[in-house]
Amino acid sequence: MRPTLIALAVLLAVSHGGRPRADAETAPPRLAIIGDSISQGSAGDYSWRYFAWRHLQAADAPVDFVGPEQELWDLSAGDAISSDYADPDFDQDHASRWGDALAWPQHPIGTVMADHDPDIVVIELGTNDLTFFHQTPEQTVVRVEAWIGQARAANPQVKVVVVEIVGVLVPGASEFNALLAERMPGLSTAESPVAVARAADGFVTATPSQEGDTWDPVHPDTSGQVKIAAAVCDALAELGLGAPYPRPLAVPAEGLRVPPTLSGLAGLGTVSLSWDPPPGATGHDVWTRDVTAAGAWTLTRPDVAGTAATLGLTSGHTYELRVRARKGYSVAAEDMFSNTVTLVVLPETDPEPPASPSRPAPQPAAPSQVSGVTAEPGRDSLTVSWQPVASATSYLLWVRDAGAYAGWSSTLVPAPVSAPSRTLAGLPAGSPHQVRVQAVNQVGVGLMSETVTATPGGPVPAAPKGLGAVNRGGTDVSVRWRRVADATHYVVQVRVAKPGRHWQTVDTPEPVTGPRLRVPGLSKRPYSIRVVAWHHRLEGGTSKTVRLTVR
């Protein structure tokens, strides 16, 4: 090849930031989705990213999603991630994180541009700015404009899609969307066009009594995920990638595409159920059918929290029972019912023996009372052991969080050959728990054992580091720190920086699991601020104190 042609080939293979790109002329465009929980999604979701990617493939517009993340958020595990998509068959790369915001980004656009070199950026942020960070719509749109400028500094030809806020209950969302419609067209250039994804059009926020496109007041269910994907793909088509999303919108079966696994036990006038939940479930509906009375399936216990339920049913009747998972307001599809369990409810009292002198042979008796119950603490757990009962076919293991004044819940444990035991995991460390056991057989349930109290252990987190506090005017202070291993939440404490003043804990509606908190309503005076790390109810280390004057 002649030198001039070599130089031309090198020029074509260099990306916007000056880095060589393999197969620059044939590689699909790189697309980065920078967003919050609406774009990350939670365990059991398809995510709107899934529907967008599938549409682009079907529209013969291959694209390479890029970003530092692949996972969903796991609501059931607190500050954790999950790979349990409803359908994992798509390009899962993204740059979205639960709770993210333009004001305090976990994935700043400059970093995403430098690390992943996208040709197209989709910005889906603003909800948390308007709510948790109390930014105005104007401040939030100004940050969007600044992000577009930063993206263009890294790649002058970058194409940008900005997604409307879909949550109509978010204060300032309508104003924010109106500002996007007004100002984004003016930012568009021939080299670097900008389009707005009109995701709020036709999007319905659900409530406990009204179906819609969310499973709580903000987060999209499957229909909501399809609507957001359609809006984004329409905007991408404006920028020359793919085609508009086909209408009418095709919505597949609701997420939570794993059925629960159900087991049950008949008691005296009751049935006790327990189940393994699918990823992402926040509750379960319990359905029953009275076979003896030729009844229909009936929703007997809606939205049961946890993984067990005890029902009072008609003695002597045969019942079929099943459960179906739900996420908030959204219920899993009809084909996601659990297996059906059939149980005969035992009579609450033994029948009178016949008056005839010729009586039948004695019937088997209910099992005797369990004895020797012990509870050995472990990390976030208790290992409960007891002496076996000869006639028991299984045991009911009862536990309650006495430190939280919680009610009793039960787990069905099959009777083992050796000394029976069961480890109860996922308990809050540092909180005393009470446990007790009942033996069960085909006749009934034995007397409750004595109650034993033990406290789950756990690691003591170190002191948070990197504490900083900023007051940008007004009476609010933004506090940030670095996460600490084994910390499940943090407590922020504030006191007036004068001798003799005591530390006051900042009250929050929910535990602070992330590395930041906005402290509102402070007076114009100097303050000392510190952060304490906790593992459940075990107090960890306390950060160094920072001093700040609210002006």
Average pLDDT over residues 29-57: 97
User: What is the structure's pLDDT at 298?
Assistant: 95
User: What is the structure's pLDDT at 178?
Assistant: 97
Work out the angle between the directed axes of helices 137-154 and 173-187 (0-180°, nearest 10). 30
The closest alpha carbon to 382, from 401, 358, 366, belongs to 401
User: What is the structure's pLDDT at 358?
Assistant: 56
pTM beyond 0.85, yes or no: no
Pairwise pLDDT comparison (407 vs 251), residue with the higher score: 251
Most confident of 87-91, 402-406, 496-500: 87-91
- Per-residue burial over 68-87, b = 16 or more CB atoms within 10 Å of its CB, e = otherwise: bbebbbbbeeebebbebbbe
Domain map (residue ranges) of the chain: 14-238, 261-344, 374-454, 468-549
CATH of domain 468-549: 2.60.40.10
Question: In the CATH hierarchy, which top-level class contains the domain 14-238?
Answer: alpha beta
**Is pLDDT of 333 > 80?**
yes
User: What is the structure's pLDDT at 80?
Assistant: 78
Give bridge partners of residue 286 from the DSSP assignment: 301, 323
User: What is the structure's pLDDT at 25?
Assistant: 59
Q: Where do runs of H (alpha helix) occur along 30-136?
A: 37-40, 48-58, 109-116, 127-130
User: What is the structure's pLDDT at 348?
Assistant: 61
Domain 374-454 has CATH 2.60.40.10: yes
CA distance 457 to 537: 10
Average pLDDT over residues 359-373: 76
The tens digit of pLDDT for each residue in 110-144 reads 999 999 999 999 999 999 999 988 899 999 999 99
User: What is the structure's pLDDT at 269?
Assistant: 85
The tens digit of pLDDT for each residue in 135-177 reads 999 999 999 999 999 999 999 999 999 999 998 778 999 999 9
Show the tokens assigned to 329.
Answer: 């307001």
**Is pLDDT of 35 > 60?**
yes
Show the tokens assigned to 405.
Answer: 């004044």
| Cβ-proximal residues to 399 (8 Å cutoff; 6+ apart), any chain | 382, 384, 408, 409, 410, 411, 424, 427, 433, 434, 435
CATH of domain 261-344: 2.60.40.10
pLDDT above 70 coverage of the chain, percent: 91
Return mean pLDDT, the chain.
88
Q: Do 374-454 and 468-549 come out as alike in CATH topology?
A: yes
Asked if residue 51 lies in contact with residue 64, where contact means CB atoms within 8 angstroms, the answer is no
